[in-house]
Chain A
Amino acid sequence: MLDADLAAQVEQDMRAVPDPEIPVITIDDLGVIRQVETADVDGRPGMRVTITPTYSGCPAMHAMADALAEAGRAHGIPVEVVTRLSPAWTTDWMSEEGRDKLRRFGIAPPTGERAHAGPPGPVPVGLQLRVVTCPQCGSDDTEEVARFGSTACKALRRCLACREPFDEFKTI
């Protein structure tokens, strides 16, 4: 068995791994880590960490898995990274602290409301009217420039008050 203090230290290091695309937040803030436990890894006492991917195709997931393994390796401990698909990751799992950090970094956190109106079915279509607050100046007078932004998880918007463009973390 792994020494409890050491396991706690490794877990702390794992939870502090920054998101490779948005380094101001940790993958723990993002809600990607589902479980950390001590486990037998290849016959040695080690740790198993279970993560849930954000987007199916997000290239950052590889970097996250590598960084988690490295957090153990730094202490000489083998780490097994397990991917769990279900339940699917949602932006609801993002911590309040993570949302604050995003805002301070200039990214509007997920609003909790999807970018289109209502459930599927007889077409609630039309150009959307959803309020997203500018992380720079706090104005609600912002508009969408592109639904798909610089990474899979973000949309591009601009503020009509301060004229600054900014990213919005999409609700999913």
Chain B
Amino acid sequence: MSSTDVRHVHYLLGLGDDALVYAQRLGEWLTHAPQIEEDMALGNVGLDLVGQARSLLTRAGEVEGADPLRDEDDLAMLRDEREFRNVQLVEQPRADFAHEMARLLWFSTYQRELYAALLDSTDETLAGIAAKAVKEVDYHRDHATQWVLRLGDGTPESHERMQAALVAVHPYVAELGEDHEAARWAAEQGVGVLPSSLTDAVNGYVAGVLEQATLTPPDPPRWHARGGREGVHSEVMGYLLAEMQHLHRSHPGATW
């Protein structure tokens, strides 16, 4: 590729890192979920996200066109914290199951709208990845929806904990809809979409679920997370990467 714009690479890294880092957190649920079916469900959701991340990071490496080319493994395993462009929502540590369902509801609803909009991307590889992924995240969103309904409209205890989870996760949601520099460029070029253009649809869907679940939409938070798209992360990110990357870095080129 002749005139690569670094913002194209940054945009793809943002999408890929969201998927990769959230997959890492979801994988932590294995053997910790409230029932074995949920171990499988969250593991499967994470697996879909790993697959999406692989395609997105591979594409980011191609567009970057470094010599030698950075492949999906280089990008996933050999970048440091400040080079990751995921939102802070996905890196937050695992809390209770209601917190995970709150996070999954918002994140999968966002991804659903995002990938649907990317079907028209002028980056044909990205459009192809989106066409595959949109069908997968549809299942993720549905899964989170069913649990939020069940917990919200369940027992007083489950209702209270689901409500508390919404309040706790909410400050991390706004970052999904923030228009960062790479996204503004991508939207102008037709490669991507403005995150803010997805916000109404995301909020509309989530509000509908909360209403039916007899939950109260949380008040606007007094602060919200920001900076992930520029590589600014919360304290937990370094620990997450240490665990995710240590095998690859300790045994470069290992295969089995």
Please measure, in the bound complex, the distance between the C-alpha atom of A132 and the C-alpha atom of B44, giving whole angstroms: 21
Please measure, in the bound complex, the distance between the C-alpha atom of A122 and the C-alpha atom of B208, giving whole angstroms: 6
B111-151 vs A, Cβ < 8 Å mask (1 yes, 0 no): 01000100000001101110111011011001101100100
Tell me if B50 is interfacial: C-beta within 8 Å of chain A: yes
A67: chain B residues within 8 A (beta carbon): none
Please measure, in the bound complex, the distance between the C-alpha atom of A116 and the C-alpha atom of B47, giving whole angstroms: 21
Q: Chain B: which residue is nearest A127 at the CB level?
A: B146
Tell me if B104 is interfacial: C-beta within 8 Å of chain A: no
- The listed residue with most A CB atoms (<10 A of its CB), out of B38, B146, B149, B205, is B146
Knowing A56-B48, A89-B132 touch, does A150 contact B55 (C-beta < 8 A)?
no
B131 touches A125 (CB 8 A): no
Please measure, in the bound complex, the distance between the C-alpha atom of A58 and the C-alpha atom of B50, giving whole angstroms: 9
Knowing A116-B142, A120-B205 touch, does A152 contact B47 (C-beta < 8 A)?
yes
Number of chain A residues close to chain B: CB under 8 A: 33
Knowing A86-B127, A125-B212 touch, does A147 contact B51 (C-beta < 8 A)?
no
B55: chain A residues within 8 A (beta carbon): 56, 85
Report A78 CB to chain B, min CB distance, Å: 22
Interface of A is mostly: loop
Knowing A125-B209, A148-B44 touch, does A87 contact B131 (C-beta < 8 A)?
yes
Tell me if B45 is interfacial: C-beta within 8 Å of chain A: yes
Please measure, in the bound complex, the distance between the C-alpha atom of A122 and the C-alpha atom of B132, giving whole angstroms: 23
The residue from B41, B128, B146 contacting A88, defined by CB atoms under 8 A apart: B128
Knowing A127-B146, A147-B139 touch, does A57 contact B52 (C-beta < 8 A)?
yes
A125 touches B208 (CB 8 A): yes
B147-197 residues at the A interface, CB under 8 angstroms: 149
A122: chain B residues within 8 A (beta carbon): 204-205, 208
Q: Chain A: which residue is nearest B112 at the CB level?
A: A120
A85 touches B132 (CB 8 A): yes
Please measure, in the bound complex, the distance between the C-alpha atom of A124 and the C-alpha atom of B149, giving whole angstroms: 12
Tell me if A39 is interfacial: C-beta within 8 Å of chain B: no
Please measure, in the bound complex, the distance between the C-alpha atom of A86 and the C-alpha atom of B130, giving whole angstroms: 9
Q: Chain B: which residue is nearest A58 at the CB level?
A: B51
A57 touches B47 (CB 8 A): yes
A147 touches B41 (CB 8 A): yes
A125 touches B52 (CB 8 A): no
Q: Chain B: which residue is nearest A154 at the CB level?
A: B44
The residue from A85, A116, A127, A149 contacting B129, defined by CB atoms under 8 A apart: A85
B145 touches A85 (CB 8 A): no
Tell me if B37 is interfacial: C-beta within 8 Å of chain A: yes
Please measure, in the bound complex, the distance between the C-alpha atom of A59 and the C-alpha atom of B124, giving whole angstroms: 24
Report A84 CB to chain B, min CB distance, Å: 8
Knowing A85-B125, A123-B209 touch, does A55 contact B51 (C-beta < 8 A)?
yes
A123 touches B212 (CB 8 A): yes
A115: chain B residues within 8 A (beta carbon): 139, 142
Q: Chain A: which residue is nearest B139 at the CB level?
A: A147
B116: chain A residues within 8 A (beta carbon): 120
A57 touches B48 (CB 8 A): yes
A121: chain B residues within 8 A (beta carbon): 204-205
A146 touches B131 (CB 8 A): no
Report B197 CB to chain A, min CB distance, Å: 16
Of the A-B pairs whose beta carbons lie under 8 Å apart in the complex, a sample of 9, sorted by A's number, is A56-B50, A85-B55, A87-B131, A89-B132, A116-B145, A146-B37, A148-B41, A148-B139, A152-B48
Chain B residues with CB under 8 Å of chain A are 37-38, 40-41, 43-45, 47-52, 54-55, 112, 116, 124-125, 127-129, 131-133, 135-136, 138-139, 142-143, 145-146, 149, 204-205, 208-209, 212
